Structure formats: C-alpha cells, structure tokens
Copies of this chain bind each other. A is one copy, B any other.
Amino acid sequence: MRLFRRVKRVGLPPGTVQYVGQTVTQPIQVQTLAYGPETVVEKKDLSIEECLKVGDGAAVSWINVDGLHDTAALERLTSHFKIHPLVIEDIVNTSQRAKLEDYGGYLFIVIRMLDYDEEKQEVSSEQLSIVLGPNYVISFQEIPGDFFDPVRERIRSGKGRSRSSGPDYLAYMLIDTIIDHYFVVLDKISADIEEMEDELLEKPGRELLETIHGLRREMILLRRSVWPLREVVARLERAESPLIRPGLNLFLRDVYDHTVQVIEGIESFRDLLSGLQDLYLSTISTRANQVMKVLTVIATIFIPLTFLVGVYGMNFEYMPELKIWWAYPALWGVMGAVAGAMLVWFWRKGWM
C-alpha cells in the first residue's frame, strides 16, 4: 500500500473534478441492473449516455461505473442525478477515507476494497464510491473487476430478500460483501504471521526481518483504511436518514460486528508483529551470546597456552629449563592443568 496519496488539487477551487489515479485510455464501462420483485433487466458495456435512460420505472436501478478517468462523462452522469460537485470530486479523487455523507436526497458512501497479494505480502486498496438514492444505487470503481458477482447472481435468481427490498438493501449487500472480503485478507495475513512464527524459531534471518517490517507497515496502513469504516457503519445502523428503511438495522448491526472484528484483528496482528520483532531481536541477542561464548572459551584456553609455548621457543642462550629432560613433558602437564582448570571454570559459569 502506498504510504500517502497526494490529493492533487492545491489551490484548485472546491468541486474541481480531477482524476488522480493511473491514466487509462479505454472508455469508461457501465453495467446496469434494474430490478423489482418481478423483473430484472441487465445491461453491459453501456456508455454514460445510454445508462441514464436505464431503470425508469424499476424499483431499484444499480448503475456500476468502472473507470474514473473520463471526468467529463462522470459529470454528465452525476448532473443527471443532481449530485453535488463535492461528491464527484471525492469520487475521482481516489484517496478518500471511508466516509458517509448525507446530502438529504441521497447518501454518499466511500469504502475501500482491499486485497492481499500473498507473493509480495502487500495489501492493495481500491476506492468504491456509492451514491444511494431513493430508487437507485450508483457505484464507482477505479478498475474493472470486483467481488460483486455473488450479489448480481442473487439479484438475478431473486432468492431471499434481495429483489423485494429497496436500494438500501443493495447498498448493504455491497458493503457486506466488501467487509466479508476483509476477513479473507486477514485470514491470509494470519496464515503468513503463523508461518513467520515458525520460521523465526528455526532460522531467524535478515529476510524474515524485512518481511516482519513490511507486514507491520501494511498493518499501519490497513488500520488507517479500516478504522473510519466503523463510524460509517455505526451511523448507517443508527438509521439517521429516511433512505435507510427500518428493517435494515438488524443486518447493519451484523456488518458493524464484523467491522469491529476486523479492526480488533488488525490491532492484534499489530501487537503480534511487534512481539515477533521483539522475539527476533531477543533471538539474535541469544545467538550472539552463544557465538561469543564459544569464541571466549576457545580463545581464553589457547591464548595462555600459546604464550607458554612461545616462552620456550625463545632463543636465549641461558634458559636452564631447555636442558632438563623432563621439562617438555612437564610443560604438557602444566598446559593440561591450565586448560582443565579453565574448562572447569567455564563449566561452572554455565558457558559450556
């Protein structure tokens, strides 16, 4: 995840619609799904203009927009629905925090879709903007491809409450799906952390250290992404807007519980990773200490002995010991005694 995404509009008037993501050349793609208890009409690959006519008369129209680079087209769409320029600015400015804004006639919800790349151990994040009106839901994504196929399938098949409920239920289903996917992300991360715990005990190395650091970094950024979501869902649940119908709060309470669980998960991952880094440091210290003990034992045994044999390697003419026949074996005895005494001493100190 990127550390920080600059909102590129210093000094521009508020409401300026300027896309900050990657430049894409393919046109914006729109899919629509207009449905009621009885009917479903689905269209794909529409242009902005075509989608505006969709859904007249349907109970709920879901307009999903993939691609945000064609700001002129987006403005045509939003002006059709009388959406405030500040909303459009936030939609294309894809570095928003999760938020909920009540504009009276419609709610504007920003939520971040997360994915986890197990190879690079990086979390990626995409902004989903939802405009929830009295009989429509418009969702804006930066890149084609999402997790919403099960939602579409449920609407097509008409099972459960999906088709008999209003656009608030659709918005709920989208948010629920995204937060369910957070669990997948956390599940993958937890598997990585458990793997690192095992690796740390076996071979703590430089790469592992970098991996731990990298995951800690991701957790810091992930927390920043998910934290504001809690308030968004809590406010939805409190049903402050008439656009949220009474029966939905039971479901939103469920989503709120999941959000809290995700945040608690991230917090405990942060604690665990911080504990892992401490463990790494302690392990390195323990190992360094063992290495140093070996060095000290070997060196302190042999350094005095080497001195002794050096003494009798001197070429002084008058060294009486050199002439004594038992001096050589006696020296071996002395050296053995010195070495033995040292070994006993080290053993008592617990260094061996």
Contacts and interface: CB of A to CB of B under 8 A. Distances in A.
A99 interface: yes
Interface in A216-258: 216-217, 220-221, 223-224, 227-228, 250-251, 253-254, 257-258
Interface in A122-161: 147, 149-151, 154, 159-160
A286 B305 CA distance: 28
B11 A149 contact: yes
A193 interface: yes
Most chain B beta-carbon neighbours within 10 Å: one of A99, A184, A318? A318
Interface of A: 2-4, 6-7, 9-15, 84, 86, 90, 96-97, 99, 101, 103, 147, 149-151, 154, 159-160, 162, 173, 176-177, 180-181, 183-184, 186-187, 189-190, 193-194, 197, 201, 203, 205-206, 209-210, 213, 216-217, 220-221, 223-224, 227-228, 250-251, 253-254, 257-258, 260-261, 264-265, 268-269, 271-272, 275, 277-289, 291-296, 298-300, 302-307, 309-319, 321-328, 331, 350-351
The complex is assembled from copies of this chain, and their number is 5
A147 B205 CA distance: 45
B11 A220 contact: no
A186 B299 CA distance: 48
22 contacts: A6-B183, A9-B180, A10-B150, A97-B257, A97-B260, A97-B261, A97-B264, A99-B257, A224-B264, A277-B278, A277-B282, A288-B288, A288-B289, A291-B293, A291-B296, A292-B296, A294-B300, A302-B304, A302-B306, A306-B307, A309-B310, A313-B313
B194 A3 contact: yes
A86 B194 contact: no
A277 to B, nearest CB: 6
